[in-house]
Amino acid sequence: MALWGRPAVRALRLWGPGAHVICDGKGGHLGNVGGRRPIAFSAGVSGILGNGGSSKKEKLSLQDIAELIRARACQRVVVMVGAGISTPSGIPDFRSPGSGRYSNLQQYDIPYPEAIFELSFFLYNPKPFLSLAKKLYPGNHRPNVTHYFLRLLHDKGQLLRLYTQNIDGLERASGIPASKLVEAHGSFASATCTVCRRTAPGENFWADVLGDRVPYCPVCGGIMKPDIVFFGESLPERFLLHVVDFPMTDLLLILGTSLQVEPFASLSEAVRSSVPRLLMNRDMVGPLAWRPRSRDVVQLGDLVHSVERLVELLGWTEEMKDLVQQETGKVTGCDK
């Protein structure tokens, strides 16, 4: 865990709230970077970027963002996503009124919503979390248009990294390689004994979870907990990649998240102020609401419609159709 040592904490404090444990937060630089040759852009793109003497366009639109991507003026796109990208796949988010899990917790028999992701409660009664885990069993759900849009961005060589809070594995299932992903809140790929800390592959506990049994450690008999990050727990080491990714990015996309969980939410402020940020969500959220920047673009409404609109502006509609067609036959669920 050397990566979590003091230098890393200091780096995080530059942008984040300090602690790099998960907590509920209720309460156009371009050109010659990394030895790449400068790229000649059209007058339109130069205007958006402020290159070539033209003045930088202050207020950007969705069309401008599409133009930056399409013209490959943005080649190091970082994406932050949350539960809202998976609701069209049939997985409820937390906070949507009515349909979100926080509005439908009677079935879990828990004293308050956050208890389902608290270690102390899990040790007292693991069943509510395990029944939630059962609903996320790999193969029960399929990636949707948003996941495939991000896959296409990767296929085009423009995705620097995808930071996800989701634990449903649909980013991997869409074909985005693990090297491009930071699963900030963990995954079901492995489980760890809450007593002796022995780890085991995820497959070992699914039989128990699907059979409504609590998985126990074969060595010491402690409860096995899938490696999902609970409130108060450290995030996976890969999360520290943000220290290099965010200062390097030339476009930030924020999709389907309430930006309420720290330290993830604060990453939205870790990009340079000249970098455009595009939020696509049902509602206005987080720092984009209370500390907006001049190059923010906000597309509110249903995410599927917003993504389809962006894909159309990019001229990628046919490629998207082909990709979805090719992948739909192939996807058998998350391979974590």
Tell me if 258 is assigned to a ligand binding site.
yes
Q: Find the angle CA(210)-CA(216)-CA(222) to the nearest 5 degrees.
A: 145
Q: Which residue has the tokens 């366009």?
A: 57
Residue 121 Cβ, how far from ligand CNA at the closest point, in Å? 15
Tell me if 193 is assigned to a ligand binding site.
yes
Sole binder of ligand CNA in the list 48, 49, 65, 91 (CB under 6 A): 91
Q: Which of residues 177-196 bind ligand CNA (CB under 6 A)?
A: 185
Q: How far apart are CA 266 and CA 36, in angstroms?
A: 30
Contact between 86 and ligand CNA by CB under 6 A: the answer reads yes
Alpha helices in 28-165, H assignment, sequence order: 43-49, 62-70, 119-124, 127-135, 145-155
CA-to-CA dists, residue 256 to 70, 85, 146, 268, angstroms: 22, 5, 10, 13
Residue 92 Cβ, how far from ligand CNA at the closest point, in Å? 6
Tell me if 13 is assigned to a ligand binding site.
no
Closest by Cα among 128, 102, 127 to 113: 102
Of the ranges 13-21, 33-41, 50-58, 83-91, which one interacts with ligand CNA (CB under 6 A)?
Answer: 83-91
- The answer to whether 222 and 49 are in contact (CB under 8 A) is no
Take residue 11 and report the two structure tokens written for it. Answer: 């780096």
List 296's β-bridge partners, or say none. 277
Of the ranges 123-131, 219-227, 257-265, 320-328, which one interacts with ligand CNA (CB under 6 A)?
Answer: 257-265
Whether residue 185 lies in the annotated active site? yes
Contact between 142 and ligand CNA by CB under 6 A: the answer reads no
Residue 279 Cβ, how far from ligand CNA at the closest point, in Å? 10
Sole binder of ligand CNA in the list 16, 28, 82, 287 (CB under 6 A): 82
Query: DSSP letter string over 144-201?
Result: -HHHHHHHHHHHTT-EEEEEE---S-HHHHTT--GGGEEETTEEEEEEEETTT--EEE
Take residue 225 and report the two structure tokens written for it. Answer: 């907990």
Contact between 283 and ligand CNA by CB under 6 A: the answer reads yes
In angstroms and rounded to an integer, the radius of gyration of the C-alpha atoms of the chain is: 21
Name the active-site residue from 20, 147, 154, 185. 185
Between 196 and 210, name the residue whose CB sits nearer to ligand CNA: 210
Number of residues that bind ligand CNA (CB under 6 A): 29
Binding-residue pattern over the window 101 to 140 for ligand CNA, x denoting contact by CB under 6 A? x---------------------------------------
List 193's β-bridge partners, or say none. 224
Contact between 263 and ligand CNA by CB under 6 A: the answer reads no
Q: Which of residues 288-327 bind ligand CNA (CB under 6 A)?
A: 302-303
Rounded (10°) CA dihedral 55, 56, 57, 58:
-120
Contact between 336 and ligand CNA by CB under 6 A: the answer reads no
Which residues are marked as active site? Answer: 185
Contact residues for ligand CNA (CB under 6 A)?
82-84, 86-88, 91, 93-96, 100-101, 165-168, 185, 256-258, 260-261, 281-283, 285, 302-303
